Amino acid sequence: MGKQKIGWIGTGIMGKSMCSHVIDAGYEAFVFNRTKSKADELVAKGAVWCKSAAEVASKADIVFTIVGYPKDVRQVYFGDEGCFAADVKGKVFIDMTTTEPTLTQEIFKRARILGADALDAPVSGGDRGAREATLSIMAGGDRDAFEKVLPILNVMGKSVIYEGKAGAGQHTKMANQIVIAGTMAGVSEAMVYASSAGLDIGTMLKTIGGGAAGCWTLANLAPRVEKGDFKPGFMIDHFVKDMRIAISEAQNMGLRLPALELVCSEYEDLQSKGLGKLGTQALVKEIGGSDVH
């Protein structure tokens, strides 16, 4: 441990905590973020600042990326100063952004041409999972490359599972987001209903959380709503991006996902009201206003 040099591109809400765990585990880290100040804490812990994704790729053996949108992923890998502008032979790239499976497969193919490996390894667990290193990580790509980086992935997550060929990690994340969308709607409606019925929200949550309704969203996000805390553990803008990808992928497979489409439209309405930077728990505002207590 500590011999492999780790690259980290994207030090936002999730990436900063995840990279911090890697540094704590004894790995030398090279970091880049579009907003340099967001990497200051990592640099203070010993990470080496790089001026571009290409510089990170040139110095590290294993490079992790976790950025915002598919266009950001494309820029990080294929841009003039992106990872693939460097000599990447023998290196492994792990994109942990939730992005389009087709883009993931494009990255995989280009990496292979350049003599490198690429994995898609999106995560679930939000800001808390990133801070506490309890993320669920779902990986796609070459099995041998996955085994090579597994010890590092285990530093960040408690559930790290190989899903299959390139793109399989992203498809698994889409399934994850479909479940979360429906669950978030159910939890939000339950809280609005309980508030309107005059129930004590905390007591209600404790009660139904001990039965069949118990789930991660109920345990982690419902208490934030009760406290009026709508800060993002996972931002609405990013969730809408994920849902739109899932809807598009489903259409490509000849499927229609009506529940997901409905929830997506509710979140898009929140975006239209300028609330896209809030956390996904703010769906309650769309269903019943903010008066849930």
Q: Is the dihedral of CA 94, 98, 101, 107 positive or negative?
A: negative
Measured distance CA(117)–CA(239) in Å, rounded: 28
Q: Rg for the chain (alpha carbons), in Å?
A: 20
249: Cβ contacts below 8 Å, ≥ 6 apart: 100, 101, 171, 174
Give the whole-angstrom CA distance, residue 229 versus residue 173. Answer: 26
Q: Which of 57, 119, 120 is nearest to 89 (CA)?
A: 57
Phi-psi region of 5 (alpha: psi -120 to 50; beta: other; left: phi over 0): beta
* Rounded distance between C-alpha atoms, residue 258 and residue 264, angstroms: 10
Virtual CA dihedral for 215, 224, 19, 135, nearest 10 degrees?
0
Q: Which listed residue (91, 173, 241, 285) is catalytic?
A: 173
Query: In angstroms, how far apart are the furthest CA atoms of the chain?
Result: 63
Bridge partners, 290 (sequence order): 288
**Quick check: 134 and 160 in contact, CB under 8 A?**
no
Distance separating alpha carbons of residues 43 and 263, to the nearest angstrom: 39
Nearest one of 138, 226, 213, 207 to 183, comparing CA atoms: 213
The 10 Å Cβ neighbour count of residue 2 is 9
173 is catalytic: yes
- What amino acid positions are annotated as catalytic residues? 173
